[in-house]
């Protein structure tokens, strides 16, 4: 029940902001490829929340477009690489480790990835 209410609220907010319906198609496949549950640390953010976190990233972040996920990689390069590979296998753009940290993997499904993603 809570999940249904949350999903309906999310769809309402995304329609209000003209965004995509969440979750991105590759998220489930990434979990399947990884082979065990992933801990989600970020997903959809409404533009107001994104602005609260980092106003500079408001128009750069894929989180407010509804096509991005962050998963915990427990500050492990090995886990980070495994999650990255699982996401890439599902056609994700993955933020390079050098631009992020090894505490999470940012993956999104924007379509055309930036160079090096």
Binders of Zn ion among 2-41, rule CB under 5 A?
A: none
Q: Closer CB to Zn ion, residue 28 or residue 60?
A: 60
Binders of Zn ion among 68-107, rule CB under 5 A?
A: 70, 106
Q: Closer CB to Zn ion, residue 40 or residue 81?
A: 40
- Among 106, 38, 15, smallest CA distance to 67 is for 106
CB of 110 vs Zn ion, minimal distance in Å: 12
Q: Are 67 and 110 in contact (CB under 8 A)?
A: yes
Residue nearest to Zn ion (CB): 106
Question: Using CA atoms, how far apart are residues 84 and 30, in angstroms rounded to an integer?
Answer: 9
Q: Which residue has the tokens 């940012």?
A: 106
Q: Which residue has the tokens 């090995």?
A: 78
CB of 107 vs Zn ion, minimal distance in Å: 8
Q: Closer CB to Zn ion, residue 37 or residue 50?
A: 50
Question: Using CA atoms, how far apart are residues 63 and 43, in angstroms rounded to an integer?
Answer: 6
Site for Zn ion, rule CB under 5 A: 70, 106
């Amino acid at each position: 029940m809570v999940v249904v209410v949350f999903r309906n609220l999310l769809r309402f907010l995304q329609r209000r902001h003209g965004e995509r319906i969440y979750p991105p198609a590759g998220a489930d496949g990434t979990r399947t490829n990884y082979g065990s549950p992933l801990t989600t640390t970020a997903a959809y953010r409404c533009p107001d929340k994104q602005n609260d976190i980092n106003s500079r990233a408001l128009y750069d972040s894929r989180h407010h477009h509804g096509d991005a996920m962050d998963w915990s990689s427990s500050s492990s390069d090995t886990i980070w690489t495994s999650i990255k590979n699982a996401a890439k296998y599902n056609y994700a753009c993955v933020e390079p480790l050098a631009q992020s940290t090894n505490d999470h993997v940012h993956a999104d499904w924007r379509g055309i990835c930036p160079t090096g993603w």
